[in-house]
Chain A
Amino acid sequence: MQAYLLRRLIAIPFMLIGITLLLFFLLFLRPGNAALTNFGLVNPDQACDKGERGTYQSTGSGCEGGLARLEKEYGLDRPFFVQYGDWAIHAIQGDFGLSLKNRRSISAQIGERLPTTIEIGIITIILSTLIGVPVGIISAIRPGSWIDGTLRITTIIGISVPNFWVGTLAIMLPALWWGWTPLARSYVNFVDSPLTNLSIVIWPALVLAIGSAAYVARIVRSSMLETLYADFTRTARAKGLTERIVVLRHVFRSSMITVLTVIGVQLGAILGGSVIAEQIFAVPGLGLLIFEAIMGIDYTLVLGGMTMFALMFMIVTLAVDLLYTLVDPRIRY
């Protein structure tokens, strides 16, 4: 167990190196782009006209000199691996550098946005477990019954409906019927006002939870069906336990491992889905931050944000793997 944990922990930094190298390669494939972005432009021909706050403003043919100076300031003229090494050394210390666009510390921006996304993620996971697990159990207890049929159709619809459409309807329909919409409120921190914050964050979480809960329910159902007729379940029934105890204590416990896997997988999907949900409801989370950074070609910010997302994903995956041992004593690492 300890050896396994150690092996996994050692793997994380190597994974991170791979992840950041890949991002670095993708984002700095074409040098010069990033420097140009600082002028708020992608087109080099216009770079001369709009210098940022006059600092790098250059006139006429001196324009290219201005760009080169900018590249130099950001170190973009250095070789690829030198740039990477420099970035990595700072990143280890929690310093992701400055955003190209607004020159604010990226770590600070991530720090502001991350709690919101984590909050959405946690609420979504709680909701989808609370809905998905009971639905899956009810569905599995009497397979083939009308209630199972109804739930199966409901859950397959749940995984089919795109979250951005559900989100769109969630904004549109109340506006249409009651002239009210869950959108368009200024965002408040959880610390400042928990209730107002929850009333905002609940909407993206609800939208994400629909697909997630349906997915969880389907997996719970199929994994319970497998164990409902296993040998150990028959033994439990044979020794006279009530069906209720058989289901809750034996069947459910053994399908917990699948549930755990699914929730782990879902968290990855939810992190991805948060981009869309945050965008629809205009909730300022990490997903929206990165999305805007990608659209604005703010490459340093994309690099920092994506690294953060990947790190979160790896930590969750590791946590799920470790939880296995708690749920299933047969698993020994």
Chain B
Amino acid sequence: MSEISNTTGPPPLHELEVMPPKRRLDGLRRFLKQQRLGSFGAIIIIIIVFGAIAAPILHTSDPREFGENILVSPSGENWFGTNRDGRDVWSRVLYGGRVSLKIGLATVILTILGGTLIALVAGYLGGIFDFILSRMGDILIAFPSILFALTLRASIGEDMPGLGSFLPADELLLVVAICVVFTPVIFRIMRGNVLEQRNTTYVEAARVIGAPESRIMLRHILPNLLGLMIIVTSTTLPAAILTESGLSFLGVGVDIGTPSWGADLSGNARIYFSRAPWIAIFPGLALSVTVLAFNLLGDALRDALDPRLRGQK
């Protein structure tokens, strides 16, 4: 009797206890093996993040310091050459990564959390909340994102306080502007999913046993949105970095002089591009590679986490 139950029933408890950690490692190994491009992207991201964090060590000269040798072509001393102010392009690219990653991360955290929470309220409670929030989203989505971020910047620009040296006023302003543009998009995606979850049996079960609405939203539905949140994060982060650099390129991003991939491609620097192409090539290349790496990783995550969402954005 005991032998039969061993072969057909669930495995004994001591085996089960071993399972979870083993399976988790297997998952990572499988990801690395099946998602070659994604792993490649992850490695590039690690390198870029390392470069940004270690910028004070890796840089060869102060990125804001004016140098005497202007428009020097790439050499042993100035790896990426110098720009029209004699600033070292390599050092500026390193520090530019800090700005892009910082603003990108801050934006993504705020939009994903904000968009998801608003979507939870709208999707789960429905009714008038849903109607008002959805229409507000519709209105915000109807504007071209860059122009709307520009308008916001012009409107609230002078009133914006800074958050110390970590996020000065100009960067905080960028974060706020990009957040306002992105949140309705996140909201739309998440709301659809909340609506789906709302009609599932487990939500019904929770309601039947008398769980309060707030608990159902936060403890039952929210954990089920995590997979989608990760996927949306992976597409939003590169988009946020692109928008930040786009605004900086238009000359309304970070303050003048701050090293930024977008800003270094804009304004008066453009006059010197044909004479000193390295000023244009390296910041743009750094930006493109960063966005590409995040997109590669995002694609792989999407494949791994939810095959149904493949290719969607």
Chain A contact residues, CB within 8 Å of chain B: 14-15, 18-19, 22-23, 26-27, 29, 153, 156-157, 159-165, 168-169, 171-173, 175-176, 181, 215, 218-219, 221-223, 225, 268, 271-276, 279, 287, 290-291, 294-295, 297, 302, 306, 309-310, 313-314
Contact = CB atoms under 8 A, between A and B. Distances in A.
Q: Considering residues B154, B245, B295, which has the most beta carbons from chain A within 10 angstroms of its beta carbon?
A: B154
B265 A272 contact: no
Interface string B32-58: 000001000000000000000000000
B311 A222 contact: yes
A167 B265 CA distance: 11
A287 B310 contact: no
A57 B148 CA distance: 34
B280 A219 contact: no
B295 A172 contact: no
A164 B249 contact: yes
A19 B139 CA distance: 6
B154 A297 contact: yes
A71 B272 CA distance: 43
Contacts, number: 139
Contacts of A14: 135
A162 B299 CA distance: 18
B159 to A, nearest CB: 8
A276 B284 contact: no
A169 B283 CA distance: 12
Nearest to A14: B135
A15 B287 CA distance: 36
Contact of A272 (B147, B252, B296, B299): B147
Given A173-B277, A309-B143, 7 more contacts: A18-B139, A22-B140, A156-B37, A157-B292, A222-B311, A274-B144, A294-B154
Contacts of A295: 251-252
Nearest to A224: B311
Given A156-B296, A222-B311, A276-B246, A165 B265 contact: yes
B181 to A, nearest CB: 9
B287 A162 contact: yes
A160 to B, nearest CB: 4
A13 B28 CA distance: 52
B interface SS class: helix
A272 B145 contact: yes
A161 B295 CA distance: 11
Contact of B262 (A164, A222, A309): A164
A322 to B, nearest CB: 17
Given A26-B152, A169-B280, A272-B144, A219 B311 contact: yes
B174 interface: no
Interface string B129-144: 0000001101111111
B31 interface: no
Interface string B222-265: 00000000000000001000100110011110000000001001
Contacts of B284: 162, 165, 168-169
Contacts of A160: 238, 288, 291-292, 295
A78 B250 CA distance: 34
Interface string B76-117: 000000000000000000000000000000000000000000
B246 A164 contact: yes
B150 interface: yes
A223 to B, nearest CB: 7
Contacts of A272: 144-147
Contacts of B141: 268
